[in-house]
Structure 1
Amino acid sequence: MRKSFWLFAIVLSMSLGIRAQAAPREIPDHFNTGVDTDTELTEIPEPGIYGGIQYKTGAGGQLALDLVYSNRQAGNEIEIRNMDFSRYALLMVNEGKIAVETMVTFRNCKFDAVTTGREDARISYVFEDCTLRNFQGSNATFTRCRLGGSSGDALNPYRNVTLRDCYIADLAHPDSGDTVHSDGVQIFGYPSLTAENISFDNCRFEVPAIPGGGSYVNACLMIAPEKSGAKGIYFTNCILNGGGYAIYTLVKDGFSLENVVLCNISVGDAARYGTFYHRNVTAGVTMENIYTTDTLYVGSRFVDEEGRIHFSVTNDTAQERKLMIVTPRQTIILPVKACPPYEDRTADMTFEDFPFDIDVVVPGAQWAVCYDITDGCTQIALYAERKR
């Protein structure tokens, strides 16, 4: 079924003289990352034992997870599923005392902030389909996670951190009080500890700055080793939209960047000042195929229980664009508003005012193909059979 549909779409595109694109990996968005909203989560209202794991009160009122003293019985492969930790910041403690290789996997969990240790340890953390406000630490892997949602950095990784198919978004909250400098990811190192082995693949950053106090959004990617050097940093196949600059690199005297690679990066029009800011960067950074987003794009494609096709449509450009959807029965043409440049934004705007992850619903169709017909005709998505 799917193969014949792809063949049909290719033939249709050729017959209409349409610029077709190869089938992409699904772009991360609001619908395909983070916790499953249809699943009931178990809320942790206070320190205690939940799912056989004990959580204690940690420094500063945080919720502490200790696998050395409090949870010896848990073993070295621990799975925590469908939990809501969002009342507390979660702090991992006593990692350096763990004697055997241990993995903790969080599946479909919701967090406020999560902090792990900075140094290499015999413990690693896996986050799958989770929602977090912030992560700071090392030795963690994230898949299909959503990070952000408030002022402040979404990620502060130190070492051995990998993100795949993740969505980092919504960092500008003007009503949050004192001014907070916010980045999608900020890599700044730590004294005597090189920031190393950090990678992002197929991740999307939507962090437009909004005028007013509260959150000053610096960059989608802030690579600024100010406390140590940084090496082995990779960003591949990512979408960046927002910040003062989309990509900000700065090296303080005495430190250096080594083997920092940015490859296949699409940059939208939401940055306040431009795409790049470089200071004291003379070597160690490779940039390949950094290009400007020039079409609409589609993240999730799914069919609901009523048989309607849903496309999650985003416009990262500063131009209103036209979306055309072709089905067996009809052709639909819809305008998609522009992503406003900084000078057109007002302090009362919120993230929801931007043209990101618009749920376009197509009823009564067996298949559908999406095109951006603003300048020519570019195929941007096909209907994929699945339910969510």
Structure 2
Amino acid sequence: MPHAPRSGAQALAGVFCIDDHLPDDAREWQRVARSVARDVLAPTIEDDFEAQRFRAEHIPALGEAGLLGMHLHGYGCAGASAVAYGAACLEVEAVDSGWRTFVSVQGSLAMTAIATFGSEEQKQRWLPGLAAGRAVGCFALTEPAGGSDPAAMTTFARRDGADWVLRGRKRWIGLASVADVAVVWAQTDDGVRGFLVPTDSPGFTARVIPGKRAMRTSIQCDVEFDDVRLPDDARLPEARGLRGPFTCLNEARFGIAWGAMGAARTCLEVAVDRARTRHVFGAPIGARQLIQAQLADMLLEYEKGALLALHLGLSKDAGTLAPAQLSVAKLNNVREAIRIAGAARGILAGDGITDEFPVMRHLANLEAVRTYEGTDEIHALILGRELTGVAAFE
């Protein structure tokens, strides 16, 4: 007898049942994140993408749900497991990459920098508000001349008596125009150091980058520091050298590896539903061998990517995660999510480019995700160094 038709979501749940492999705490966090994503973010997401609008009014809902800096402990943070944080990222990005980017910038980058390298006073001042969504943080590392080579940064902080004076420029800094505090990485006479810069400081300017065709529900900015004067207690005391920013980037890469599979899952669900409901030549297109082969390939890559993300999270919770594994996951999962979204667009035919479906939006967003926190090329070279012991980019 023929199988009863199922929705795309039901079809995905019936193969590996990845959700069933999540620990209990992660499953509960997944439920919370899915509820916020679908009830708060999803209803306006297409209009916001079209209008290039970032709805700051959604931030408190994410904070109230405990999703901001949820992997951190104390100071109002939830102290959730790595797998729980990953599952939450997947659910948020299933709606839109721009909002998962917000969660990452706030929690994995800004809050992680403060929690890991900040003084007790800095943690008390900033982390509770950031966790609750009462304050917004940004992370200023990338510069106009090249984001892939942070060692060549030209932003400089010089000593002037008891103070520091910060001068330079950053680019593609998420949330900078709405942030209350910026984690800024700068060269000093003592190497790269991190600073907490209140964004109302004289000399701090953030300008939204216009004309984006991706990440239109989030904000990225050009930032200038024109002799911004900071007291010494603005310096992150435990951050020395590039280990500081790289520690935070690895946290963000972890969230990306999970999140990209959320976008992929949504595209695959849409493609399965379309294959069942669109009739051509007297039958659903899902009855055609070519369509079934495409769907099978999409499912393979989604399942592998989701299982890879789960392995990553379990390793992180066990304390055995290696940085090279993050490069494997970021490179593979974003690349395959783009392929899944592209295949879904094809199955939807001309309708796939309209905002009736989320596929083209996900496809555009994923191209941006592919670039930040390490391009494909950088992660390939990291893995090449891991395999050969020889660095090709230093």
TM-score by length of 2: 0.24
Structure number with higher strand proportion: 1
Instruction: With a CA cutoff of 8 Å and minimum separation of 6, indicate the structure with the bigger relative contact order.
Output: 2
TM-score by length of 1: 0.24
Structure number with higher helix proportion: 2
